[in-house]
Amino acid sequence: MSNFKDFATNLSIELHRRYEGIELDITGINLKLPEYRLIGGCNAGNNLYTGLFIIKGDSLNILKIKEQMELISNFLKDKKLPENFLSACIFYVYEHGCPVELKGKNFNDNNLPGIENIEFKTNRVFYGGSIDLLEPGLSTTKYGEVFLEALKSSIINVKSGIVHCDTYIEEHKNRYYDFKLRLEKNRPCATWLILAICSSMFLWTTLSGGSENLYNLLRFGANYGPLVKSGEWWRLTGSMFLHIGFVHFLVNMFTLLSIGSTLEKYFGTLKYMALYALAGIGGSLASAFSRDILAAGASGALFGLCGGAAYLGFRYSKEIPAILRKQLAGGMISCIGYNLLYGFISSGIDNAAHIGGLLVGVIYAMIVSPPVIKGKEKESVNIYSLVFLLIGIIPFITQFYISYLAIYKTGFENYPLREYRDESNKDLLFKYPTLLSVKEYPEGKGLAGPGMFMQVSSFDTKDNLDIRTESQELLNVLEEKGTKIKEHKLISVNNREWLMVNINTEKGLTYYLLFTCHENKLFRIEMAIADNFLAPGKEIMNLIMENFLPGK
């Protein structure tokens, strides 16, 4: 027959396995209770505890139970229980059968005779349920799924005659404290360094024209596929420290502190820096080679940290104590899944960077094992330490180079130029900066870049035309087609005459039509520039007009 002591010991051990509860020393606590056991369960990873009283309930009626709850409540008020106790919960165990009036009842039942819910919630003492060892199927509790698992395992163990000794709890407790002590010896220095650099870059970009200004982002190292492919590899790491807007910055830095500061304690500073660098670069590469969008943010690297944390929690589920494992990887899979799903259904989110960083993070955690798992606070210094150091400092060294470029190389004249050729005869028409890339559209070929789009078309004429003499006729044609002309002017760029027409368009966009003549051809360039890219867009427009070289 199952008895209270064996069951209470088993339940205590099972709860330790799952919650890393701390068995309290009840010496000196003079509670006038029948046979009982007191467990302190750590709540959500902090130092606040809930006391679980496992009490033998045989021969107790409802009034006695109420008296016990009031007694424990008074002990809480008078601080005779540990100071970090927030509340206490009572779970009754019956060896010879549960009273009829308590069967199927728990602390959520308002109709529990003689026990007013509100009173015991106020006094922080709760009736947590009961179990009848004669009929374990009638056990009641709403303590949660983990508690139910512990309850079921305890019932099975007791019924099978498996009774653990109390020394297991001491061993389990020592293992938990030893592991936690090893973690606490590792300081999250790299996490704070990354936070400092991201904060500095955000402040710098904000004061230099705005963190959402496209040109400003390009200037400070934002990731953009065509530029990366043209040789600006430093954008792969520079974009890891940039953020587009305050909300983007705030969310990413909160995530960095939440996940990074914990994960760094597992890997140690050098391995953690290498993980952050590789995940960030992996995310940037995936973004640069998937589609031509301007991207910035630490999200790729952060997804790498999430992937690494999730894998560690899965791979080392036996080595990492349960509550520490929950702090590291609890809810990580659902969090990753939600953010990826949100990225797929929302515009403006670079999910390629998220997926790239996530895969790198998981692969890294599969290959590189944390020192604390091996029973060490830190990895011993060897040749591998140098490799991790070199990988980890790449983004930081690169950031000095990006800062130099942001100060001294600010114009588009520093970008390499590519040739744009006429589709009909393949003759050179003009040169354009590598910031733009050629795109195929249903209406023909065009050039696109962050914040701007342009398309070139040409028309054969019978005679050589002069744009100055033909400008009025061109304006009349545009007006006949319903074009709303805001302003127009004739300009000369590099000894070539141009008609520049500014057209009224939708808010947030400036639209230009540029006309010029060469021999028996009329060329038209349509150019749309976002208002937050207007100044650099005009610079690119002038650069194209300066390098308009048809027939050369």
CA terminus-to-terminus distance, the chain:
101
Per-residue pLDDT reduced to its tens digit, 171-199? 767 777 788 888 888 888 999 999 999 99
Asked about 354 being catalytic, the answer comes back as: yes
Residue 10: band (very low, low, confident or very high) from pLDDT cuts 50, 70, 90: confident
Q: Which of 110-124, 264-278, 498-512 has the lowest mean pLDDT?
A: 110-124
Tokens of 16: 């330790």
Query: Which one of 172, 243, 248, 354 is the catalytic residue?
Result: 354
The rounded distance, in Å, linking the Cα atoms of 58 and 5 is 13
| pLDDT confidence of residue 48 | 46
Q: Which long-range contacts (CB under 8 A, 24 or more apart) does 432-438 make?
A: 432/540, 432/543, 432/544, 432/547, 433/540, 433/543, 434/226, 434/227, 434/230, 435/218, 435/224, 435/226, 435/227, 435/540, 436/226, 436/540, 437/225, 437/226, 437/292
Burial of 323 (0-12, 13-18, 19+ CB in 10 A): buried
* CB-CB neighbours of 306 under 10 Å: 25
**Mean pLDDT of the region 510-517:** 89
Who wins on pLDDT, 88 or 283?
283
Q: Which of 299, 346, 369, 518 is catalytic?
A: 299
CB count in 10 Å sphere of residue 352: 21
Quickly count: other Cβ atoms within 10 Å of residue 81's Cβ: 20
Higher-pLDDT residue of 9, 112: 9
As a whole-number percent, the residues of the chain with pLDDT over 90 amount to: 14
Give the single-character DSSP code of 371: G
Distance CA 85, CA 71 (A): 15
Q: Which residue has the higher pLDDT, 18 or 219?
A: 219
Residue in the block written with tokens 């230099």: 208
Amino acid 84: pLDDT: 59
Predicted confidence at residue 425, as pLDDT, reads 60
Q: Delineate the domains of the chain, giving CATH numbers in brackets.
A: 4-164 (3.40.91), 184-408 (1.20.1540.10), 413-546 (3.40.1000.10)
Residue 218 has pLDDT above 90, yes or no: no
- What residues does 257 pair with on adjacent strands? none
> Cα separation of 449 and 540, whole Å?
11
| Residue 552 pLDDT grade (very low, low, confident, very high; cuts 50, 70, 90) | low
Does 315 have pLDDT greater than 70?
Answer: yes
| pLDDT over threshold 70, residue 285 | yes
Tens digit of each residue's pLDDT (9 = 90 or more) over 376-423: 555 555 677 788 888 888 888 888 888 888 887 766 666 778 888 766
Active site residue 317: no
User: Do the bridges between strand 521-530 and strand 452-460 make them parallel or antiparallel, or are there none, so unpaired?
Assistant: antiparallel
Residues 6+ apart with CB under 8 A from 422: 428, 429, 458, 550
Report which of residues 38 and 523 the model is more confident about: 523
The pLDDT tens digits of the residues spanning 237-246 come to 999 999 999 9
Per-residue pLDDT, 43: 47
pLDDT of residue 40: 67
DSSP 373-407: GGT-SSPPPSHHHHHHHHHHHHHHHHHHHHHHHHH
Amino acid at 7: F
